[in-house]
Structure 1
């Protein structure tokens, strides 16, 4: 393991971080170490990214009590949950082998782990055969203790643009998740965090966010480089509602920047809003000290 595809390599080179990325790649492995297994079994939610039956990329949320994630062997993660019937990935993940990107997050301790591979239905949930397993740094994670919202039968609302209320949620977001895929179909799910306002709304169908300094792998941006279809998941911590967006993303570079700054522009194609299908953490979070200042006047 530890190899990059052509999109990741291209972005690493453009950002002048190829050497750092080469060192970071050593952390990628195919198996789940014991310490990671312990981390996973304590989690109560898992973010997953994949393509739906029409080839659009979505980011979804699976929840359950501690133990709903199990590691029967070092190459397998069992998930005792499926997307609810209204979720954009519900039908796809109930089919055969599906490339899936997964992210396990512990906001209370600012820990996260990526688990990319292939899933298939297993009992009342999923079985993930791992291909890439690695931890990410704690940067930009807001400290909070979310619990799954109690939604008995969520009814999603569909649209092709953000409503004013949905735009307001996006503008105050300090955390969202993004799903991407490579040009060979491999999937990835990642976390993005920052001060409220870092996720910008330019119109009901156009968003953007800055790409902050990270581990130099550029898994997300590398995927966007070769496959623009992407999905966003924006949680409303106060209500437990979920906002899912699918669309097209592109990397924008700041010309003349000595640090080769970049941002992502996201065009919305479809929206799914589901009440009570997410996570609740109504108390104010402890913001990450790594969050750069947000210029709300820009």
Structure 2
């Protein structure tokens, strides 16, 4: 894979190359931190995020076993395959209404409460390695964006430390991020339930509880980046309104910095949508962020 070989010659590629050159010329390696959203930035998030499919299968399984759950959301939506209700969850979230998010989150927490972290990882890993995207005709592990994988490798080759900072589940992504992106599991920042430790004769067991620890979205992203890295990133890449605070956090007064916003505008090779990205696109236009057009800036998508 050549460096940025799937990027068209244009403003976005030039902005990346110029930024890396400036950084290498004057910023110590230890300070070269880059952060990337995952859903819609590193891998496909339509028609639903990949983890949503994983969760819905678990909720449907629970509803099949317990008829009383079938009249309660989110089990009702999973049992009836009500894509409209599920799609509205994130649409309303980015519009400022978290009513459905809280309902879905309650179901997710109940779905995995009491499950050990090892069992959860085994389930996540098996799902990601076997499940197929519903419309693209490819496995989920083949839904990573090739240009972004090249960008991660290009940054690493130039002394950057890359982190994934996602609203998706931290422990859902960890089994495959090193393989897909070259980002090891300890550099994955994501949403998580509160965990608890119980001593036993197997060396202790960590399990999921029915309580959220945090949803890694919006203003939570900069907080988690600082908590994990102790640094303000030089590069931040995202694609929705929930990534705006993270892109803001990449601003520096005395160092080169780059904010990338992926624009999904290629209905032929992937999907075309801006729902949930309206504020981000306005900020990109007013503040000179680098907008990456899937249609114009990527010669290959997957």
TM-score normalised by the chain length of structure 1 = 0.28
Of Structure 1 and Structure 2, the greater helix share is in 2
Q: Flag the structure with more relative contact order, 1 or 2, with Cα contacts below 8 A and sequence separation at least 6.
A: 2
TM-score normalised by the chain length of structure 2 = 0.27
From the CA coordinates, give the structure whose radius of gyration is larger.
2
Of Structure 1 and Structure 2, the greater strand share is in 1
